[in-house]
Amino acid sequence: MKKENNKSEIIISLRQKAEDKLKKKLIDKSSKLDESEIAKLFHELEVHHIELELQNEELQQSKIKAESIATQYADLYEEIYDFSPAGYCTIDQNGTILKLNQSGSSLLNKEKSLLIGSNIKFFIAEEFLPSFNDFIKNVYEYQTKQNCELAIDIGLCLDTNISVFIHIVGLLAKDKKNCLLSVIDISEHKRTEEALIESETHFRTLADSAPGLIWTSGLDRKCNYFNQTWLNFTGKTLEQEVGYGWLDDIHIDDLKRFVSTYNLAFDKYEKFSIEYRILHFNNEFRWIQNDASPRYNSKDEFIGYISHCLDITQRKNAEDEIKKLNLKLENRVQERTQQLENANRELEAFSYSVSHDLRAPLRAMNSFANILLEDYFPSFDEKGKHLIDNITRNAKKMGELVDSLLKFSRLSRQDICFNKVDMYRLVNAVYHELISETEKNNYEFIIHDIPVAYGDSSLLQQVWINLIDNAIKFTSKKEYRKIEIGFNSVETGNEYYIKDNGDGFNMNYVDKLFGVFQRLHSATEFEGTGVGLAIVHRIIIRHKGIIRAEGKVNEGACFYFTLPTENNE
């Protein structure tokens, strides 16, 4: 447009110069013009006239083009104005709507044509009218841009109660008479804000009623909230605790450790758990367990930490008591161990005494009894012979009893060497060793397919010796004698059994079977020291196994014992 104005000015200037030149020559009376000069002058004037016409035509075209462009920009402005996402409105000082775009019409939920000329205050919620009036007053008084937030009732024309929260920016128009308003719907923002406030209120209500101590911190690492339980615990106010104030209450010996743990977790957004002492309102330090987790907002952005703490003073005191008790127990164990070692040494000494000092008089008794029998046997009557025989038999029995006791006592100290043991071969060997060839014909001996065991072969051999010997002994008075050895698979390991049809026993006394010197039959009925089954029991227990028995008088007995497999030793 500026270029076209410059051209117009040039054309007017040229025309003015040509006219002035002609006028000057015509009025100059002193100069005489011949016809050729006059013709030349008119030709020059015609040329200037043609140039003026051409330039005028060009100017007209430029004007048309400029008007077309201006029209296009005006239409574009109207489209932008009308369909902008923000509502635009022009009102006078009384609030009458003079101009309104489509977004503003949609915001007020009414046709644009019906809104022009109406008063905008009609749509503003009653409680916000004072704020709006102050807002308009400030726009006209200060003639600067002003901001305001309020609610409008868009349901007035629909007989409903629908409110929309809006943010208004207002400034004066160029004429200083009217006010231009820009309106944005902030209802969603308000609802989100209210939801956050409600959520925060709900959280604080729950947190204040929780039995645990709760605190939260922000991105600056400072604590910004403590629940009522925490404040009751410390006896401090929220103002005293927020920020870093609460750190003053942590025990000086625990403070550095806590701060280091907290900062390390904070840098990595990780959970952390720590125990430390904090000053209670009664001026004593109490132990708390602090479990903290990082917090995130709806956009999954890290916003700080939330922590839950529990008073664990009683637990810590109990742990201290347990440590003291454990120390006492360790001391007592050491004392008892020493006592046990002393007792073992005494037992060793007793065993030595039994095996040497007690055997000596027994050997002497046997020797003297044999001398009497050899040298003076004819001189004894039947009663004397019977007495000498009793002395010899009881001395022998006493020797057997001493041997059994020594064997039983050594079991406690004997080391166990675990290996695979072929139980089938072991049982066969023991049976054929215990029974003579002539007696074999009197027994039905059955050995089922029994698996390999895992234990000490020499000790397991002693188990089978004692059990098979008992079976032979207690079936010896039967006409039909049967001994059966087999196996059952159980959860605790391999269960072996030996069953006979002998004299049996009363189940009411089954608990006495495995005690030392506990006999369910008299020595006159069946010989024995009463130590054999006690030895079996001790061996099985040392193998971490179980032994039990079942029986019925005159119908036989069955002994079961389990041994661990190689994998569950």
Each residue of 492-503: pLDDT tens digit? 778 999 999 988
Q: What CATH number is given to the structural domain containing 203? A: 3.30.450.20
The residues near 452 (Cβ < 8 Å, ≥ 6 apart) are 420, 421, 422, 423
Residue 316: inside a domain: no
Contact predicate 272/260, CB 8 Å: no
Contact predicate 216/307, CB 8 Å: yes
Mean pLDDT calculated for residue range 110-133: 88
**Do 147 and 232 belong to one domain?**
no
How confident is the model at residue 369, as a pLDDT? 75
Q: Hey, what are 313's tokens? A: 């003073």
Going by pLDDT thresholds of 50, 70 and 90, the confidence category of residue 374 is confident
**Do 60 and 44 belong to one domain?**
yes
Going by pLDDT thresholds of 50, 70 and 90, the confidence category of residue 418 is confident
Measured distance CA(11)–CA(177) in Å, rounded: 42
Residue 191: inside a domain: no
- In order, the DSSP letters of 60-97 are HHHHHHHHHHHHHHHHHHHHHHHH-SSEEEEE-TT-BE
Q: Please provide the average confidence, as pLDDT, over all residues in the chain.
A: 79
Mean pLDDT calculated for residue range 418-423: 88
Residue 322: inside a domain: no
**Do 443 and 550 belong to one domain?**
yes
How confident is the model at residue 435, as a pLDDT? 84
Measured distance CA(9)–CA(19) in Å, rounded: 16
**Do 161 and 282 belong to one domain?**
no
How confident is the model over 211-234, as pLDDT tens digits?
889 999 999 999 999 999 999 999
Domain count, the chain: 5
Measured distance CA(560)–CA(548) in Å, rounded: 5
Residue 318: inside a domain: no
How confident is the model at residue 182, as a pLDDT? 86
The position carrying tokens 């820009």 is: 182
Measured distance CA(467)–CA(84) in Å, rounded: 105
Contact predicate 395/365, CB 8 Å: yes
How confident is the model at residue 33, as a pLDDT? 56
Which range scores top for mean pLDDT: 106-115, 129-138, 180-189, 485-494? 129-138
Tell me the C-alpha to C-alpha distance, in Å, between residue 568 and each of 90, 94, 538, 560: 93, 97, 20, 19
pLDDT at 235 over 90: yes
Measured distance CA(436)–CA(418) in Å, rounded: 32
Q: Which of 42, 59, 81 is a domain's end point? A: 81
**For 459, phi and psi rounded to 5 degrees?**
-70, -40
DSSP, res 50: H
The lowest-confidence range among 130-139, 163-172, 349-358, 560-569 is 349-358
How confident is the model over 253-301, as pLDDT tens digits?
999 999 999 999 999 999 999 999 999 999 999 999 999 999 998 788 9
Q: Which of 164, 185, 206 is a domain's end point? A: 185
**For 316, phi and psi rounded to 5 degrees?**
-65, -40
Long-range contacts of 312-321 (CB under 8 A, 24+ apart): 312/275, 312/287, 312/288, 313/286, 313/287, 315/287, 316/275, 316/287
Measure the CA dihedral 462/468/472/475, to 10°. Answer: 130
**Do 218 and 342 belong to one domain?**
no
How confident is the model at residue 156, as a pLDDT? 45
How confident is the model at residue 154, as a pLDDT? 66
Domain that holds residue 356: 329-406
Mean pLDDT calculated for residue range 171-187: 87
Q: Select the more confidently predicted residue: 446 or 34.
A: 446
pLDDT at 160 over 50: no
Residue 450: inside a domain: yes
Give the rounded percent of residues in the chain with a pLDDT score beyond 70: 74
Strands (E), 344-459: 419-421, 443-447, 453-455
The position carrying tokens 């454990």 is: 326
**Do 552 and 448 belong to one domain?**
yes
Going by pLDDT thresholds of 50, 70 and 90, the confidence category of residue 543 is confident
**Do 34 and 117 belong to one domain?**
no
DSSP run (H or E) holding 549: strand 546-552
Going by pLDDT thresholds of 50, 70 and 90, the confidence category of residue 106 is confident
Cβ atoms < 10 Å from Cβ of 470: 20
**Do 564 and 489 belong to one domain?**
yes
**Do 201 and 164 belong to one domain?**
no
Mean pLDDT calculated for residue range 427-453: 87
**Do 442 and 560 belong to one domain?**
yes
How confident is the model over 466-496, as pLDDT tens digits?
899 888 888 888 888 899 999 988 877 789 9
Residue 324: inside a domain: no
Q: Hey, what are 535's tokens? A: 């030895």
pLDDT at 159 over 50: no
Going by pLDDT thresholds of 50, 70 and 90, the confidence category of residue 176 is confident
How confident is the model at residue 77, as a pLDDT? 47
Helix (H, G, I), strand (E, B) or coil at 205: helix
Going by pLDDT thresholds of 50, 70 and 90, the confidence category of residue 511 is confident
Residue 229: inside a domain: yes
**Beta bridge mates, 520:** none
Mean pLDDT calculated for residue range 312-319: 92
Sheet holding 285-296, edge to edge: 223-226, 213-217, 302-311, 285-296, 272-279
pLDDT at 347 over 70: no
Mean pLDDT calculated for residue range 224-253: 92
Burial grade of 213 (CB within 10 A; 0-12, 13-18, 19 or more): buried
How confident is the model at residue 334, as a pLDDT? 87
Q: Select the more confidently predicted residue: 71 or 105.
A: 105
How confident is the model at residue 465, as a pLDDT? 86
How confident is the model at residue 339, as a pLDDT? 79
* Alpha helices (runs of H) in 237-378, residue ranges in sequence order: 238-241, 252-268, 313-353, 359-376
The residues near 178 (Cβ < 8 Å, ≥ 6 apart) are 90, 91, 92, 93, 98, 172
How confident is the model over 11-60, as pLDDT tens digits?
566 556 656 665 665 555 445 556 676 677 666 666 666 766 776 677 67
Helix axes 382-411, 532-542, angle to 10 degrees: 10
Residue 259: inside a domain: yes
pLDDT at 407 over 50: yes
Mean pLDDT calculated for residue range 413-418: 70
Q: Which of 59, 81, 103 is a domain's end point? A: 81
**Do 119 and 172 belong to one domain?**
yes
The lowest-confidence range among 179-183, 207-211, 399-403, 442-446 is 399-403
How confident is the model at residue 405, as a pLDDT? 60
* Alpha helices (runs of H) in 143-251, residue ranges in sequence order: 187-209, 228-234, 238-241
How confident is the model at residue 499, as a pLDDT? 92
Q: Select the more confidently predicted residue: 7 or 220.
A: 220
Measured distance CA(24)–CA(20) in Å, rounded: 6
Measured distance CA(180)–CA(139) in Å, rounded: 10
Measured distance CA(447)–CA(191) in Å, rounded: 88
Q: Hey, what are 511's tokens? A: 């608990």
**Do 136 and 222 belong to one domain?**
no
How confident is the model at residue 355, as a pLDDT? 58
The position carrying tokens 């009458």 is: 96
